[in-house]
């Protein structure tokens, strides 16, 4: 069965191909199917944004589609940056966004946070299914580590032994992250 990943991110597409092709899916990126589309994320939740992206592709191809939306939610900041993680406070670079979080948390005792990942799978008949992964932890006092991307240098997961995610091997993240958790649920569903 053909399945399209609603993304233009090569890393994400490779990850889905590696996992889903052994299950018998023929996995394509949207550009491999000639779909040039950058969907505006106008939703107010991770679920809404994931559905927006997947539906836009489904409407064009009528075959199974996967999309995901993710971000970091910091409790003392009322869940920010949340769905705005990729453009927190309009700051263009990842380092700048991390520093903005550290600054916003100055003087606050509660540094708890979580990464969230929602995968939306639209099956061939057009039905959508959501899978949500949550990775709990807290925000470090300063950046450290060079692995990963985004907020990894300031996120310490509850299973990270006090290390930021960026200080741990990528294999750790692949096994325990919010994305890994959502993906495990999707796989359990597809294998049924």
CA separation for the pair 182, 186 (Å, rounded): 6
Query: Closer to ligand IMP at the Cβ: 72 or 140?
Result: 72
Q: Which stretch binds ligand IMP (CB under 6 A): 18-26, 28-36, 56-64, 67-75?
A: 67-75
Bridge partners (DSSP) of residue 26 are: 2
Should residue 29 be labelled a site residue for ligand IMP when binding is judged by CB under 6 A? no
**Residues 6+ away with beta carbon under 8 Å from 178:** 70, 114, 115, 116, 117, 133, 134, 135
d(CA 171, CA 54): 28
For ligand IMP, give the closer residue by CB, 94 or 123: 94
Q: What angle do CA 173, 175, 143 make, to 5 degrees?
A: 15
80 lies in the site for ligand IMP, by CB under 6 A: no
- Using CA atoms, how far residue 101 sits from 72, 93, 97, 104, 107, in Å, is 10, 13, 6, 5, 12
In the annotation, is 93 catalytic?
no
Q: Per CB under 6 A, does 114 bind ligand IMP?
A: no
The residue among 72 and 77 lying less far from ligand IMP, judged by its C-beta, is 72
Helix, strand, or coil here: 151? Answer: coil
* Residues between 129 and 188 that touch ligand IMP (CB under 6 A): 148-152, 177
Pick from 52, 72, 77, 113 the residue near ligand IMP by CB under 6 A.
72
Q: Least distance in Å: CB of 125 to ligand IMP? A: 26
Catalytic residues: 69
Q: Which spans of this chain sit near ligand IMP (rule: CB under 6 A)?
A: 68-72, 85-86, 115, 148-152, 177
């Amino acid at each position: 069965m053909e399945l399209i990943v609603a993304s233009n991110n090569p890393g994400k597409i490779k990850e889905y191909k590696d996992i889903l092709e052994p299950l018998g899916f023929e996995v394509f990126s949207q550009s491999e199917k000639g779909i040039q589309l950058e969907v505006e994320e106008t939703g107010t939740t991770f679920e809404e944004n994931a559905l927006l992206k997947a539906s836009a592709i489904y409407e064009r191809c009528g075959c199974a589609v996967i999309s995901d939306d993710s971000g970091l939610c910091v409790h003392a900041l009322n869940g920010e940056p949340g769905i705005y993680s990729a453009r927190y406070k309009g700051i263009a670079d990842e380092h700048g966004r991390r520093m903005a979080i550290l600054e916003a948390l100055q003087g606050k005792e509660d540094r708890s946070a979580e990464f969230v990942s929602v995968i939306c799978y639209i099956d061939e008949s057009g039905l959508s299914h959501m899978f949500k992964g949550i990775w709990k932890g807290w925000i470090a006092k300063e950046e450290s580590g060079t692995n990963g991307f985004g907020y990894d240098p300031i996120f310490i997961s509850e299973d990270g032994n006090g290390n930021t995610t960026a200080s741990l091997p990528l294999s750790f993240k692949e096994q325990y992250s919010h994305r890994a958790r959502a993906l495990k649920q999707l796989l359990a569903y597809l294998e049924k």
